[in-house]
Amino acid sequence: MAGKGIPLRNIIIIGVAVIIVIAIGYYFLSRSPDEVENQNDDGRTNHPPMADAGFDQIIAPGEEVRLNGKSSSDPDDDDLTFRWDLDDSLDSDLDGITDNDVDLMGENVTWIYPIPENTITYRVTLNVSDGEKWDKDTSLITIRVQDNTTPPEITMECRYGNIEGGPSYIDPHYIITIESTTSNENILNFSYMIIDPEENILYHEELRYPLVNTYNDTIRYRDITDIGMVSQGDLILIRDVPEIPEGSTILLYYLNGPDPVGEVDLSKT
């Protein structure tokens, strides 16, 4: 019998080895992938920071723009580095990616953009890093040129009904179509006013606000042709909730001029 079977000593060694392998496997499998990935050499779990590039801003030509990343944070209170890309249409480090350039560094930075001929909007990208993980956020800087061009003359048509679209469009709307304009001008140069038949002002805002497509916005600009410009074929959608009195009028103003450049009665017929 001796020498024919596996010696007891070897069986014990193999058994111990199998137990060790199972124990190691269990240790790694029991940890979530995030936990494994996030642990530093010192065993601390590092969470990524959250970037906040600040509010959108409208400035005058030649005005210094102040960028502030102070609302950025890190769940672990790590020290953060702030890298700013000042223009997501320009690749200043020539690596083929337009929003990853380190144009400025620091939590608070200032910059003066070249003076533009026409109103222009730059998208700024803030990249915040804790040395290991990072996050980015963007904000828009618009340089508004108040030129002395002749105001456009705009004609509009109004119909009333339902619009194709998502849940926010289920209510009936006044659908205003830009029928013609003597020149295409930047949306940011306009404001609108809605007055009731007694000439009380119901709404008066810059046209840019309706661009934000939130569920409850009463008034939206649908920029269909020549993006960024008020142009033929664009729509102004006015939700009839709360109800707008019959016979109200929408007036468009250009560069806060005294006279409307376009108007149309809001009629349900």
* Residues within the interface to Ca ion (CB under 5 A): 46-47, 74, 76, 78, 85, 87, 90-91, 93, 95, 97-98, 100-101, 130, 223, 226, 229, 231, 234
The nearer residue to Ca ion, 92 or 149, going by C-beta atoms, is: 92
Give me the amino acid identity at 136: K
Task: Work out the angle at residue 113's Cα, subtended by the Cα atoms of residues 120 and 151, and round it to the nearest 5 degrees.
Answer: 30
The nearer residue to Ca ion, 88 or 196, going by C-beta atoms, is: 88
Dist. CA 77–CA 50, nearest whole Å: 11
Closest approach of Cβ 177 to Ca ion, in Å? 12
* Spatial CA neighbour of 180 closest among 264, 269, 239, 259: 264
Question: CA 14 from chain center: how many Å?
Answer: 61
Work out the number of other CB atoms within 10 angstroms of the CB of residue 107: 15
Dist. CA 134–CA 49, nearest whole Å: 6
The nearer residue to Ca ion, 72 or 248, going by C-beta atoms, is: 72
